[in-house]
Amino acid sequence: MLHRHPEAVRAPLFLSGNPFFLAADKVQTKYEMLRAHLVDGVSGVQAAQEHGYSRAAFYLVVDAFAVDGMSGLLDDPRGRRGPLKVTPAIHDYVRAARSLSGAQLAREVADRYGVVLHRRTLERLRRP
């Protein structure tokens, strides 16, 4: 949860010397950016610049906060959220087909459901 560019944070609170305000703390920086805008009336562009964010990133933070509150200030994990092609039916079939190898299972899934999946993907699906 470290700010990528803490040196770009130029907001007065972070430059005050108060050890509570840590420019490297990404969540605190986002919170203070929103507070400066919503409470102090600083424009979104100025708040973003003072806190080391782009205007576009500022609006993403505003939207995330509006939807999820404080947890919206946390970054989402990067990368895909799981196999995209695996339907519940495929998942159930794979979990039930314990006797087949990953390669055999890949052929079965391709034949039965018309979806090509790597054998390792299918083997991972079988894990408890």
Model confidence pLDDT, tens digit, residues 34-52: 999 999 999 999 999 999 9
Structure tokens at 123: 């083997």
Model confidence pLDDT, tens digit, residues 54-81: 999 999 999 999 999 999 999 877 777 7
Decide: 62 and 44 in contact? Cβ < 8 Å. Answer: yes
In terms of pLDDT, which residue wins out, 11 or 79?
11
Supply the pLDDT for residue 79.
76
* Among 1, 49, 42, residue whose Cα is nearest residue 22: 1
How many residues appear in the chain?
128
The DSSP line for 59-122 is: HHHHHHHHHHGGGGGSPPPPS-SS-SS--HHHHHHHHH-TTS-HHHHHHHHHHHHS----HHHH
Per domain, the residue ranges of the chain are: 6-73, 88-125
Supply the pLDDT for residue 83.
65
Supply the pLDDT for residue 127.
84
User: Positive or negative CA dihedral for 2, 32, 61, 74?
Assistant: positive
On average, the pLDDT of the chain sits at 92
